[in-house]
Amino acid sequence: MIPMILLGVTLVGLLCVLAYRLATYALPFMLGLAVARFAYGTGSGLIGAGVVGFVAGVVSVGLLRLLFSWLRVPILRGLVAVIFVIPAAVAGYQLVNGVTRDAVPSEIWRQIFCGLGGVVVGLSAFARLAPPADIGTGKTTAIQ
């Protein structure tokens, strides 16, 4: 009985990590899903639609990261960040809301947890968008 409980807890944890990853990449995931549905609707088949959707999602992440690293005007960089972060924050809010709907009886505390979840996922999405910094020099490794 105990191994089954441990397996259940492990699987729930892995599903939470997967949901967190999908929430962090909400915009590219939804864009890829929309492109895949369009491709499937126009007769590309299941495999072709999957490939086209995957490529569209990867290209959108790459394009947003490239724009974020190339743009030097703070307003434009902020706009790119908002385009990437807002869907992730909404997805994080909804993820926590779905998980805590039956577990937290107080509406106020559930909204507090949902808000914190949205903020954490939004900050994580922003951290994934920004180029990594070199540890020793403090400079970013943006594409020049």
Q: pLDDT (tens digit, 9 = 90+) per residue, 50-83? A: 999 999 999 998 898 888 888 888 899 889 889 8
pLDDT of residue 139: 59
β-partners of residue 140 are 133
pLDDT of residue 144: 47
Instruction: Give the torsion sign (CA, 129, 60, 78, 113).
Output: negative
Residue 18 pLDDT exceeds 60: yes
pLDDT of residue 11: 87
Q: What is the pTM of this model?
A: 0.74
Question: How is the chain split into domains, by residue range?
Answer: 24-129
Cβ neighbours of residue 79 closer than 8 Å, sequence gap 6 or more: none
Residue 17 pLDDT exceeds 90: no
Q: Residue 138 — pLDDT band, cuts 50, 70, 90?
A: low
Tens-digit pLDDT profile for residues 79-96: 988 988 999 999 889 988
Quick count: other Cβ atoms within 10 Å of Cβ 5? 9
Q: Residue 137 — pLDDT band, cuts 50, 70, 90?
A: low
Give dist(CA 95, CA 22) in Å, integer: 10
First to last CA, the chain: 57
